[in-house]
Structure 1
Amino acid sequence: MRINRKIPFTIAASALALSTACGGGSTSTTGVTSLSQTTSSATATSGQPSPAFNDADVTFTQMMILHHQEAIEMAKLAATRASDSEIKTLASKIEEEQKEEIQTMKGWLSDWGKPEPAPGMGHDMPGGMSEEDMRKLEAVKGKEFDKLFAEQMITHHKGAIEMARTEEVDGADPRAKELSKTIIATQQEEVKQLEQILKRL
Protein backbone atom coordinates (compact mmCIF):
# COMPACT_ATOMS: atom_id res chain seq x y z
CA MET A 1 0.00 0.00 0.00
CA ARG A 2 1.29 3.41 -0.93
CA ILE A 3 0.23 6.51 0.98
CA ASN A 4 0.11 10.09 -0.32
CA ARG A 5 2.28 12.17 1.98
CA LYS A 6 1.64 15.84 1.21
CA ILE A 7 -0.18 17.41 4.15
CA PRO A 8 1.89 18.02 7.34
CA PHE A 9 1.11 15.55 10.12
CA THR A 10 0.09 18.28 12.51
CA ILE A 11 -2.48 19.59 10.04
CA ALA A 12 -3.78 16.10 9.29
CA ALA A 13 -3.99 15.28 12.97
CA SER A 14 -5.94 18.48 13.64
CA ALA A 15 -8.31 17.74 10.77
CA LEU A 16 -8.86 14.21 12.03
CA ALA A 17 -9.52 15.47 15.53
CA LEU A 18 -12.09 17.96 14.26
CA SER A 19 -13.83 15.48 11.96
CA THR A 20 -13.96 12.79 14.61
CA ALA A 21 -14.53 15.00 17.67
CA CYS A 22 -16.18 13.20 20.52
CA GLY A 23 -15.19 14.91 23.70
CA GLY A 24 -12.22 17.18 23.28
CA GLY A 25 -8.55 16.43 23.47
CA SER A 26 -5.23 17.46 22.03
CA THR A 27 -2.20 15.53 20.91
CA SER A 28 1.07 14.60 22.68
CA THR A 29 2.99 11.02 24.39
CA THR A 30 5.26 8.54 26.78
CA GLY A 31 5.49 4.77 27.86
CA VAL A 32 7.04 1.41 28.91
CA THR A 33 5.65 -2.25 29.17
CA SER A 34 5.81 -5.88 28.06
CA LEU A 35 4.58 -6.40 24.51
CA SER A 36 2.97 -9.78 25.14
CA GLN A 37 1.11 -8.61 28.23
CA THR A 38 -0.13 -5.37 26.72
CA THR A 39 -1.05 -6.74 23.30
CA SER A 40 -2.99 -9.69 24.74
CA SER A 41 -4.73 -7.46 27.26
CA ALA A 42 -5.58 -4.83 24.64
CA THR A 43 -6.85 -7.50 22.23
CA ALA A 44 -8.93 -9.13 24.93
CA THR A 45 -10.72 -5.87 25.71
CA SER A 46 -10.95 -4.53 22.16
CA GLY A 47 -14.59 -5.54 21.90
CA GLN A 48 -15.59 -3.61 25.00
CA PRO A 49 -16.36 0.08 24.41
CA SER A 50 -14.24 2.34 26.59
CA PRO A 51 -16.07 4.48 29.13
CA ALA A 52 -13.93 7.46 28.11
CA PHE A 53 -12.01 8.42 24.98
CA ASN A 54 -11.12 11.73 23.39
CA ASP A 55 -9.94 13.31 20.14
CA ALA A 56 -6.31 12.48 20.96
CA ASP A 57 -7.18 8.77 21.20
CA VAL A 58 -8.93 8.84 17.83
CA THR A 59 -6.15 10.77 16.09
CA PHE A 60 -3.45 8.54 17.61
CA THR A 61 -5.26 5.38 16.55
CA GLN A 62 -6.00 6.50 13.01
CA MET A 63 -2.49 7.84 12.41
CA MET A 64 -0.74 4.90 14.07
CA ILE A 65 -2.63 2.49 11.81
CA LEU A 66 -1.19 4.36 8.81
CA HIS A 67 2.26 4.46 10.41
CA HIS A 68 2.19 0.71 11.09
CA GLN A 69 1.08 0.04 7.52
CA GLU A 70 4.19 1.84 6.30
CA ALA A 71 6.43 -0.24 8.58
CA ILE A 72 4.80 -3.43 7.28
CA GLU A 73 5.35 -2.30 3.69
CA MET A 74 9.04 -1.75 4.50
CA ALA A 75 9.38 -5.02 6.41
CA LYS A 76 7.91 -7.11 3.57
CA LEU A 77 10.73 -6.00 1.29
CA ALA A 78 13.30 -7.66 3.55
CA ALA A 79 12.14 -11.17 2.65
CA THR A 80 13.52 -10.90 -0.90
CA ARG A 81 16.04 -8.06 -0.63
CA ALA A 82 17.86 -8.41 2.70
CA SER A 83 21.06 -10.44 2.98
CA ASP A 84 21.52 -10.13 6.74
CA SER A 85 19.70 -12.86 8.71
CA GLU A 86 19.12 -10.59 11.72
CA ILE A 87 17.51 -7.96 9.49
CA LYS A 88 15.21 -10.62 8.01
CA THR A 89 14.23 -11.94 11.43
CA LEU A 90 13.57 -8.48 12.85
CA ALA A 91 11.59 -7.42 9.77
CA SER A 92 9.36 -10.49 10.13
CA LYS A 93 8.84 -9.71 13.82
CA ILE A 94 7.91 -6.09 13.05
CA GLU A 95 5.45 -7.20 10.38
CA GLU A 96 3.66 -9.71 12.63
CA GLU A 97 3.52 -7.48 15.72
CA GLN A 98 2.27 -4.46 13.87
CA LYS A 99 -0.37 -6.43 11.95
CA GLU A 100 -1.79 -7.53 15.32
CA GLU A 101 -1.71 -3.99 16.68
CA ILE A 102 -3.50 -2.66 13.58
CA GLN A 103 -6.33 -5.13 14.11
CA THR A 104 -6.58 -4.11 17.77
CA MET A 105 -6.70 -0.41 16.85
CA LYS A 106 -9.31 -0.99 14.15
CA GLY A 107 -11.43 -2.64 16.85
CA TRP A 108 -11.18 0.49 19.00
CA LEU A 109 -12.30 2.74 16.13
CA SER A 110 -15.29 0.45 15.67
CA ASP A 111 -16.05 0.64 19.41
CA TRP A 112 -15.92 4.43 19.27
CA GLY A 113 -18.00 4.70 16.10
CA LYS A 114 -15.10 6.40 14.30
CA PRO A 115 -13.86 5.72 10.74
CA GLU A 116 -10.68 3.93 9.81
CA PRO A 117 -8.13 6.17 8.08
CA ALA A 118 -8.61 6.43 4.32
CA PRO A 119 -5.75 4.88 2.27
CA GLY A 120 -5.30 8.11 0.30
CA MET A 121 -5.28 10.37 3.36
CA GLY A 122 -2.56 13.01 2.98
CA HIS A 123 -0.16 13.40 5.89
CA ASP A 124 3.46 13.76 6.91
CA MET A 125 3.75 11.73 10.10
CA PRO A 126 6.82 11.80 12.36
CA GLY A 127 9.33 9.41 10.83
CA GLY A 128 7.03 8.73 7.87
CA MET A 129 8.42 7.35 4.60
CA SER A 130 8.21 9.58 1.55
CA GLU A 131 7.55 8.12 -1.90
CA GLU A 132 11.20 8.76 -2.72
CA ASP A 133 12.36 6.95 0.44
CA MET A 134 10.32 3.90 -0.47
CA ARG A 135 11.55 3.89 -4.08
CA LYS A 136 15.14 3.96 -2.81
CA LEU A 137 14.48 0.99 -0.53
CA GLU A 138 12.76 -0.96 -3.29
CA ALA A 139 15.68 -0.34 -5.66
CA VAL A 140 18.44 -1.96 -3.59
CA LYS A 141 19.35 -5.47 -2.45
CA GLY A 142 21.88 -7.25 -0.28
CA LYS A 143 24.09 -5.31 2.11
CA GLU A 144 22.99 -1.99 0.59
CA PHE A 145 19.38 -2.86 1.42
CA ASP A 146 20.32 -3.98 4.93
CA LYS A 147 21.97 -0.65 5.74
CA LEU A 148 19.22 1.49 4.20
CA PHE A 149 16.47 -0.56 5.84
CA ALA A 150 18.12 -0.22 9.27
CA GLU A 151 18.58 3.55 8.84
CA GLN A 152 15.04 4.13 7.61
CA MET A 153 13.41 1.89 10.20
CA ILE A 154 15.29 3.65 13.01
CA THR A 155 13.86 6.98 11.80
CA HIS A 156 10.41 5.43 11.34
CA HIS A 157 10.41 3.88 14.83
CA LYS A 158 11.51 7.14 16.43
CA GLY A 159 8.52 8.81 14.78
CA ALA A 160 6.17 6.16 16.19
CA ILE A 161 7.67 6.67 19.65
CA GLU A 162 7.02 10.41 19.36
CA MET A 163 3.39 9.76 18.40
CA ALA A 164 2.99 7.26 21.24
CA ARG A 165 4.35 9.73 23.78
CA THR A 166 1.76 12.24 22.61
CA GLU A 167 -0.99 9.68 23.22
CA GLU A 168 0.27 8.75 26.66
CA VAL A 169 0.09 12.40 27.73
CA ASP A 170 -3.09 13.53 25.95
CA GLY A 171 -5.15 10.37 25.51
CA ALA A 172 -8.02 9.21 27.73
CA ASP A 173 -8.77 5.63 26.69
CA PRO A 174 -6.86 3.23 28.99
CA ARG A 175 -6.33 0.69 26.21
CA ALA A 176 -4.87 3.22 23.78
CA LYS A 177 -2.61 4.65 26.47
CA GLU A 178 -1.42 1.15 27.38
CA LEU A 179 -0.65 0.37 23.74
CA SER A 180 1.32 3.60 23.53
CA LYS A 181 3.52 2.30 26.35
CA THR A 182 4.04 -0.97 24.50
CA ILE A 183 4.96 0.82 21.28
CA ILE A 184 7.52 2.96 23.13
CA ALA A 185 9.12 0.02 24.96
CA THR A 186 9.14 -2.33 21.96
CA GLN A 187 10.34 0.13 19.37
CA GLN A 188 13.04 1.60 21.61
CA GLU A 189 14.48 -1.90 21.94
CA GLU A 190 14.26 -2.44 18.19
CA VAL A 191 16.01 0.88 17.56
CA LYS A 192 18.87 -0.28 19.80
CA GLN A 193 19.04 -3.57 17.91
CA LEU A 194 19.06 -1.81 14.53
CA GLU A 195 21.80 0.54 15.70
CA GLN A 196 23.92 -2.47 16.71
CA ILE A 197 23.27 -4.09 13.32
CA LEU A 198 24.44 -0.92 11.56
CA LYS A 199 27.67 -0.93 13.54
CA ARG A 200 28.61 -4.38 12.26
CA LEU A 201 27.42 -4.03 8.64
Structure 2
Amino acid sequence: MFITPARIKAVAIAGAAAAALFTAGCSNDKDGTMPGMNHSASSSAASPSAAPAARTDFNDADVTFLQQMYPHHAQAVEMAKLVPSRSQNPRLLALATAVEQAQTPEMQQITTLLQSFGKPAPAAAGHGGHAMPGMMSGEQMSALQAATGAEFDRQWLTLMIEHHTGAIDMAKTELAGGVNAESKALATNVIADQQKEIDTMRGMLAQS
Protein backbone atom coordinates (compact mmCIF):
# COMPACT_ATOMS: atom_id res chain seq x y z
CA MET A 1 0.00 0.00 0.00
CA PHE A 2 1.33 3.45 -0.97
CA ILE A 3 1.66 5.86 1.97
CA THR A 4 1.37 9.50 0.98
CA PRO A 5 3.53 12.21 2.51
CA ALA A 6 0.42 13.80 4.07
CA ARG A 7 -0.40 10.59 5.96
CA ILE A 8 3.17 10.31 7.24
CA LYS A 9 2.94 13.89 8.56
CA ALA A 10 -0.39 13.18 10.38
CA VAL A 11 1.03 10.09 12.10
CA ALA A 12 4.07 12.08 13.26
CA ILE A 13 1.91 14.86 14.72
CA ALA A 14 -0.27 12.35 16.62
CA GLY A 15 2.80 10.66 18.08
CA ALA A 16 4.25 13.95 19.27
CA ALA A 17 0.98 14.86 20.98
CA ALA A 18 0.83 11.52 22.82
CA ALA A 19 4.41 11.95 24.02
CA ALA A 20 3.60 15.42 25.37
CA LEU A 21 0.60 14.11 27.31
CA PHE A 22 2.66 11.30 28.83
CA THR A 23 5.38 13.74 29.92
CA ALA A 24 2.80 16.03 31.58
CA GLY A 25 1.27 13.10 33.45
CA CYS A 26 4.63 12.02 34.82
CA SER A 27 5.37 15.59 35.87
CA ASN A 28 2.12 15.76 37.93
CA ASP A 29 2.80 12.43 39.64
CA LYS A 30 6.49 12.82 40.43
CA ASP A 31 5.75 14.08 43.96
CA GLY A 32 3.52 11.11 44.77
CA THR A 33 0.27 13.00 44.20
CA MET A 34 -2.46 12.59 41.70
CA PRO A 35 -4.33 15.44 40.05
CA GLY A 36 -7.23 16.64 42.23
CA MET A 37 -5.85 15.17 45.47
CA ASN A 38 -4.28 17.14 48.33
CA HIS A 39 -2.21 14.62 50.30
CA SER A 40 -0.83 17.20 52.69
CA ALA A 41 -4.33 18.15 53.85
CA SER A 42 -5.38 14.53 54.37
CA SER A 43 -2.19 13.76 56.27
CA SER A 44 -2.81 16.72 58.55
CA ALA A 45 -6.38 15.63 59.22
CA ALA A 46 -5.24 12.11 60.07
CA SER A 47 -2.65 13.20 62.61
CA PRO A 48 -3.73 12.59 66.22
CA SER A 49 -4.81 15.61 68.26
CA ALA A 50 -2.63 16.71 71.12
CA ALA A 51 -3.53 15.25 74.53
CA PRO A 52 -5.08 17.76 76.96
CA ALA A 53 -2.63 19.27 79.39
CA ALA A 54 -2.78 17.95 82.95
CA ARG A 55 -4.54 20.24 85.40
CA THR A 56 -2.38 22.14 87.83
CA ASP A 57 -5.05 24.20 89.62
CA PHE A 58 -5.19 22.00 92.73
CA ASN A 59 -3.06 20.99 95.70
CA ASP A 60 -2.82 18.15 98.19
CA ALA A 61 -5.51 19.68 100.40
CA ASP A 62 -8.01 19.55 97.53
CA VAL A 63 -7.20 15.92 96.79
CA THR A 64 -7.43 14.90 100.45
CA PHE A 65 -10.76 16.67 100.86
CA LEU A 66 -12.29 14.96 97.82
CA GLN A 67 -10.87 11.53 98.61
CA GLN A 68 -12.25 11.66 102.15
CA MET A 69 -15.56 13.34 101.39
CA TYR A 70 -16.55 10.63 98.93
CA PRO A 71 -16.69 7.75 101.46
CA HIS A 72 -18.10 10.19 104.03
CA HIS A 73 -21.01 10.94 101.68
CA ALA A 74 -21.34 7.23 100.88
CA GLN A 75 -21.97 6.43 104.53
CA ALA A 76 -24.56 9.21 104.84
CA VAL A 77 -26.39 7.84 101.80
CA GLU A 78 -26.27 4.35 103.31
CA MET A 79 -27.81 5.71 106.51
CA ALA A 80 -30.50 7.52 104.52
CA LYS A 81 -31.46 4.30 102.75
CA LEU A 82 -32.21 2.65 106.10
CA VAL A 83 -35.00 5.09 106.96
CA PRO A 84 -37.95 3.95 104.78
CA SER A 85 -37.93 0.41 106.22
CA ARG A 86 -37.45 1.43 109.86
CA SER A 87 -39.27 4.70 110.47
CA GLN A 88 -42.79 6.02 110.04
CA ASN A 89 -41.86 9.62 110.87
CA PRO A 90 -42.79 11.77 107.82
CA ARG A 91 -40.25 14.45 108.68
CA LEU A 92 -37.47 11.90 109.00
CA LEU A 93 -38.49 10.22 105.75
CA ALA A 94 -38.36 13.59 103.97
CA LEU A 95 -35.00 14.43 105.52
CA ALA A 96 -33.47 11.10 104.51
CA THR A 97 -34.66 11.63 100.94
CA ALA A 98 -33.10 15.11 100.92
CA VAL A 99 -29.77 13.73 102.18
CA GLU A 100 -29.67 11.06 99.49
CA GLN A 101 -30.69 13.43 96.69
CA ALA A 102 -28.08 16.02 97.69
CA GLN A 103 -25.11 13.80 98.38
CA THR A 104 -25.39 11.23 95.57
CA PRO A 105 -24.78 13.85 92.82
CA GLU A 106 -21.95 15.33 94.88
CA MET A 107 -20.28 11.92 94.92
CA GLN A 108 -20.33 11.92 91.11
CA GLN A 109 -18.96 15.46 91.11
CA ILE A 110 -16.12 14.34 93.39
CA THR A 111 -15.29 11.43 91.09
CA THR A 112 -15.20 13.70 88.04
CA LEU A 113 -12.97 16.23 89.78
CA LEU A 114 -10.46 13.64 90.98
CA GLN A 115 -10.25 12.10 87.52
CA SER A 116 -9.59 15.55 86.03
CA PHE A 117 -6.71 15.89 88.51
CA GLY A 118 -5.28 12.60 87.28
CA LYS A 119 -6.24 10.84 90.50
CA PRO A 120 -8.05 7.48 90.73
CA ALA A 121 -11.78 7.41 91.33
CA PRO A 122 -12.56 6.99 95.03
CA ALA A 123 -14.13 3.88 96.47
CA ALA A 124 -17.00 3.71 98.94
CA ALA A 125 -16.23 0.14 100.03
CA GLY A 126 -15.52 0.08 103.74
CA HIS A 127 -16.03 3.87 103.70
CA GLY A 128 -12.28 4.36 103.47
CA GLY A 129 -11.64 3.74 107.16
CA HIS A 130 -12.92 5.75 110.09
CA ALA A 131 -10.28 8.46 110.33
CA MET A 132 -12.63 11.14 108.97
CA PRO A 133 -14.59 13.25 111.48
CA GLY A 134 -18.11 12.05 112.18
CA MET A 135 -17.80 8.63 110.53
CA MET A 136 -19.83 5.87 112.17
CA SER A 137 -18.09 2.75 113.41
CA GLY A 138 -19.21 -0.68 112.33
CA GLU A 139 -20.78 -1.21 115.76
CA GLN A 140 -22.77 2.01 115.50
CA MET A 141 -24.04 1.12 112.04
CA SER A 142 -25.03 -2.37 113.21
CA ALA A 143 -26.96 -0.93 116.17
CA LEU A 144 -28.74 1.52 113.86
CA GLN A 145 -29.69 -1.26 111.45
CA ALA A 146 -31.16 -3.30 114.33
CA ALA A 147 -33.33 -0.47 115.66
CA THR A 148 -36.88 0.42 114.56
CA GLY A 149 -39.55 2.98 115.31
CA ALA A 150 -38.89 5.82 117.74
CA GLU A 151 -35.58 4.31 118.89
CA PHE A 152 -34.34 4.17 115.32
CA ASP A 153 -35.41 7.79 114.77
CA ARG A 154 -33.50 8.94 117.86
CA GLN A 155 -30.34 7.02 116.95
CA TRP A 156 -30.45 8.13 113.34
CA LEU A 157 -30.83 11.82 114.18
CA THR A 158 -28.10 11.68 116.82
CA LEU A 159 -25.64 9.90 114.54
CA MET A 160 -26.42 12.02 111.50
CA ILE A 161 -25.88 15.24 113.44
CA GLU A 162 -22.43 13.94 114.38
CA HIS A 163 -21.84 12.84 110.79
CA HIS A 164 -22.83 16.23 109.34
CA THR A 165 -20.70 18.04 111.91
CA GLY A 166 -17.69 16.03 110.76
CA ALA A 167 -18.40 16.87 107.11
CA ILE A 168 -18.55 20.57 107.97
CA ASP A 169 -15.19 20.34 109.75
CA MET A 170 -13.67 18.71 106.67
CA ALA A 171 -15.16 21.38 104.40
CA LYS A 172 -13.74 24.16 106.58
CA THR A 173 -10.30 22.56 106.34
CA GLU A 174 -10.64 22.57 102.54
CA LEU A 175 -11.60 26.24 102.48
CA ALA A 176 -8.56 27.06 104.62
CA GLY A 177 -6.00 25.01 102.69
CA GLY A 178 -7.35 24.18 99.23
CA VAL A 179 -6.82 26.17 96.05
CA ASN A 180 -9.12 24.53 93.51
CA ALA A 181 -12.20 26.67 92.85
CA GLU A 182 -14.53 23.72 92.19
CA SER A 183 -13.45 21.84 95.32
CA LYS A 184 -13.88 24.96 97.44
CA ALA A 185 -17.33 25.60 95.95
CA LEU A 186 -18.31 22.05 96.91
CA ALA A 187 -17.00 22.65 100.44
CA THR A 188 -19.05 25.83 100.69
CA ASN A 189 -22.20 23.95 99.64
CA VAL A 190 -21.50 21.18 102.16
CA ILE A 191 -21.26 23.70 104.99
CA ALA A 192 -24.45 25.56 104.02
CA ASP A 193 -26.61 22.50 103.28
CA GLN A 194 -25.54 20.32 106.16
CA GLN A 195 -25.72 23.10 108.75
CA LYS A 196 -29.37 23.63 107.80
CA GLU A 197 -30.02 19.92 108.19
CA ILE A 198 -28.27 19.88 111.57
CA ASP A 199 -30.56 22.67 112.77
CA THR A 200 -33.59 20.70 111.53
CA MET A 201 -32.44 17.49 113.21
CA ARG A 202 -31.75 19.19 116.52
CA GLY A 203 -35.27 20.57 116.46
CA MET A 204 -36.67 17.11 115.71
CA LEU A 205 -34.71 15.59 118.61
CA ALA A 206 -35.98 18.25 120.97
CA GLN A 207 -39.56 17.37 120.05
CA SER A 208 -39.15 13.62 120.35
* Alignment TM-score > 0.5, same fold: yes
Instruction: Tell me whether 1:62 sits opposite 2:67 in the alignment.
Output: yes
**2:139 is equivalent to residue 139 of structure 1:** no
Alignment check: 8 A CA contact 1:57 1:167 kept: yes
- Whether 2:202 is the aligned partner of 1:195: answer yes
Question: Match for residue 133 of structure 2?
Answer: 126
Aligned to 1:161: 168
Alignment match, 1:38: none
Structure having the higher Rg: 2
Compare the two structures and name the one with the higher helix fraction.
Answer: 2
- Whether the aligned pair in 1 keeps the contact of 2:130 and 2:137 (CA below 8 Å) is no
1:122 CA drift (Å): 3.0
**Structure 2: 5+ residue runs without aligned partners?**
1-53
Q: Using a 3 Å threshold, how does the CA distance of structure 1 residues 123 and 115 change in structure 2: closer, same or farther?
A: farther
Kept in 1: contact 2:87–2:150 (CA 8 A): yes
Counterpart among 111, 114, 118 of residue 119 in structure 2: 114
Letter aligned with residue 79 of structure 2: M
What letter matches 2:61 in structure 1?
A
Identity of aligned residues (%): 44
Match of 2:98 in 1: 93
Residue 51 of structure 1: how far off its partner (Å): 4.8
Native 8 Å contact 2:111 2:122 kept in 1:
no
The higher relative CO (CA closer than 8 Å, separation ≥ 6) is in 1
Give, in whole Å, the separation in 1 of the partners of 2:87 and 2:199. 19
Superposed counterparts of 1:12-51, under 5 Å? 51=56
What displacement does 1:50 show? Answer: 5.3
Q: 1:185 aligns with which of 189, 192, 200?
A: 192
Whether the 8 Å CA contact 1:50–1:173 is kept in 2: the answer is no
Question: Residue 74 of structure 1: which of 66, 74, 79 is its match?
Answer: 79
The C-alpha deviation readout for 1:48-72, integer Å capped at 9, x for no partner, is x755100110110010000000000
User: How far did 1:197 drift?
Assistant: 0.4
Cα distance in 2 for partners of 1:124, 1:51 equals: 27
Instruction: Say whether the 8 Å CA contact 2:61–2:178 is kept in structure 1.
Output: yes
Give the 3 Å change call, closer, same or farther, for CA 144–123 of structure 1 in structure 2: closer
Instruction: State whether residues 56 and 170 of structure 1, in contact with CA within 8 Å, keep that contact through their aligned partners in structure 2.
Output: yes
Scaled by the length of structure 2, the TM-score of the pair is 0.71
Contact 1:81 1:140 in 2 (8 A): yes
Contact 2:168 2:194 in 1 (8 A): yes
CA 1:151–1:123 in 2, change beyond 3 Å: closer, same or farther?
Answer: closer
The gaps in structure 1 that reach 5 residues or longer are 1-48
Q: Please list the CA deviations of residues 140-172 of structure 1 after superposition, one character each: whole Å capped at 9, or x if unmatched.
A: 111111111000000000000000000001001
Amino acid corresponding to residue 167 of structure 2 in structure 1: A
TM-score scaled by length of structure 1:
0.74
Query: In the alignment, which of 102, 107, 132 is matched to residue 107 of structure 2?
Result: 102
